[in-house]
With several copies, the nearest count.
Chain A
Amino acid sequence: MNTAAGRPVYLDYAASAPLEPRVAELMCACLRDPALQANPSAVHRPGRAAAAVVAQARARVAALIGAGPEAIVFTSGATESVNLAVLGTVRAAPAGRGHVVTARTEHRAGLEACRELERAGHPVTWLRPDAGGRISAAQVGAALRPDTALVSLMHANNELGVLTDLVAIGRACAERDVPLHVDAAQSAGRVPLDVRESGVALLSFCAHKLGGPKGIGALYLRRRPRPALRPLLFGGGQEGGLRPGTLATPLIAGFGLACEIAVGEIVKEEPRVRALRERLWAGLQPAAPVWRNGAAEPSVPGILNVCFPGIEGESLLFALDGQLAATSGSACSSASGEPSPVLTAIGRSELAAQASLRLSLGRHTTAAEVDAAAALLIAAVQRLRRAAPPGAIERIA
């Protein structure tokens, strides 16, 4: 069963949210405007016109997280922001102060950046989440050492949606004067976020998870005290030398508007999407046994991760193909087929991880879509269970 337009029900907002139509219109206007084609670093009038668009957008992006525009460094996306924060801070730290605290449940951007530091000889403490997928402030506090250069944790987990308690963890880091970096790619624009409350030193996010374009992200860099950062890229002096390269006016403009829209709609959208998620969860109960992966709350509103024990993941995806777009627990970011390390870290077996789906909802998701998705899932799961040899549901979980 498809949506009216014959397209699959899109429940993959956590991988990428559709571009907000108003953002698309602004970007198209910007792409076509002869007066906005110049390099925003150029000092001539067309350059200044482009720079003014960038400046306005920078203020909007900053406002999403309660920051000032001078605290925003534009990057190509969350991956680059996370790498700049993690590698940049630790590489800039004085010799002998290179310890990092992070978690096994981070997005691969953070995970792999920390592994790169480990390869370079930096000690890394890998925190394990509880069964709900959360890291506690007490765990962080206990992991801090005199040589800790950085704590890097995500705000909302991209697979489970569970939220980290930034205020408590921020306090634990502040007590020990350790900068805290937060990967907020999944929470920015989806739950209220204010860097002044949590005292984070660095915060990464990107546009395409919140209705903005792909190819642009931001790193928030606290002003006082300002964390020292070694750039990843070198070149023209853009972004205070921290991130050289010609600024992409239309992308930045779109990012800015997407942030402004998110700020305006979050109060209405957050409970709406949360209610739809719970409606989906309730609607899936006829497919029992069905398990929920990760704690239900606190969480971002739009992520539901479910396990259908006894189901083979690739067949489930194939059964849904063209009807429901979601992400399998065996293919979180690619077609690798490896079971999700997040799901195994919270105690799921490899087979249960492969029998899991992340269903992620967002601004354009409707109740009708949720109901359709539930019906599709129930039908596919029941059909595959009927096809399996007797005993499979019990053994494969």
Chain B
Amino acid sequence: MEYSEEVRRLFDTLPHCGELAAGAGPIVAGEAAELERGAWLRFEARLADGAIVDAAFRAWGCPHTLAAAALTAARLPGWRAGTPPPVDARSLAGELAVPADKLGRLLVLEDALQSLLRRASELQSAPPGG
């Protein structure tokens, strides 16, 4: 198995891994698990002023999956409803040189991400404090 430098670095440090501390602004979560595909991901994001301001992940999977999750969490801040997701399976695969037979895992990640972004959009369109 070949791993890029970037995968090695992200795997070794796992930035944004864990939970967001309770604090200012609502937190939403999105999760997807397909154990047969070898991936289980969970993202959390804090919203403020209609945008994601902080994000975290937890993941079970291969090194590429964990690195992709860390990268995703790093790219989430700044996202706001109505804009395209900051990453998708294709862009992650390219950036991290993920081998073709692992693309299924990135689709699980995409599912978890979309679930997170859907919740975030719902929260924004809901009446504040609702």
- Residues on A lying within 8 angstroms of B by beta carbon are 43, 310, 312, 314-315, 318-319, 335, 351, 383-384, 386-390, 392, 395-396
Contact = CB atoms under 8 A, between A and B. Distances in A.
Contact of A388 (B38, B60, B62): B60
Contact of B60 (A312, A335, A383): A312
A43 B63 CA distance: 14
Query: Interface of chain A, helix or strand or loop or mixed?
Result: helix
B58 A315 contact: no
| Those 6 A-B pairs whose CB atoms lie nearest each other, nearest first | A388-B60, A389-B42, A389-B58, A314-B62, A318-B63, A392-B60
A335 B14 CA distance: 25
B123 interface: no
Given A387-B58, A388-B58, A389-B42, 16 more contacts: A312-B62, A314-B62, A315-B11, A315-B62, A315-B66, A318-B1, A387-B14, A388-B40, A388-B59, A389-B40, A389-B60, A390-B42, A390-B58, A392-B40, A392-B60, A396-B40
B57 to A, nearest CB: 8
5 contacts: A312-B60, A315-B63, A387-B59, A388-B58, A389-B58
Contacts of A314: 1, 62-63
A396 B61 contact: no
Nearest to B101: A337
B11 A318 contact: yes
Interface of B: 1, 3, 11, 14, 17-18, 31, 33, 35, 38, 40-42, 58-63, 66
Nearest to B112: A389
B80 to A, nearest CB: 26
A312 B38 contact: yes
A120 B15 CA distance: 56
Contact of A389 (B1, B3, B41): B41
Nearest to A43: B1
A187 B35 CA distance: 37
Contacts of B33: 389
Nearest to A387: B17
Contacts of B17: 386-387
A387 B35 contact: no
A351 B35 contact: yes
A193 B18 CA distance: 53
Contacts of A383: 14
A396 B62 CA distance: 14
Contacts of A312: 38, 60-62
Contacts of B35: 351, 395-396
B31 A389 contact: yes
A383 B13 CA distance: 10
Contacts of A43: 1
A43 B14 CA distance: 23
Nearest to B62: A314
Contacts of A390: 42, 58
Contacts of A386: 17-18
Contact of A396 (B18, B41, B58, B60): B60
Nearest to B40: A389
Given A43-B1, A335-B1, A392-B40, A387 B66 contact: yes
A387 B63 CA distance: 12
A43 B2 CA distance: 10
A43 B3 CA distance: 12
Contacts of B3: 318
B45 to A, nearest CB: 15
A388 B42 CA distance: 9
A390 B56 CA distance: 14
A386 B18 CA distance: 8
Give the most central of A312, A335, A386, A395: most B CB within 10 Å: A312
Contacts of B60: 310, 312, 384, 387-389, 392, 396
A314 B63 CA distance: 7
Contacts of B38: 312
Contacts of B18: 386
B109 to A, nearest CB: 12
A335 B41 CA distance: 24
A146 to B, nearest CB: 43
A315 B14 CA distance: 12
Contacts of A315: 11, 61-63, 66
Give the most central of A43, A383, A386, A392: most B CB within 10 Å: A392
B64 to A, nearest CB: 9
A187 B31 CA distance: 48
A214 B61 CA distance: 35
A384 B40 CA distance: 13
A327 B98 CA distance: 23
Contacts of B41: 389
A392 B66 CA distance: 14
A116 to B, nearest CB: 28
A239 B85 CA distance: 44
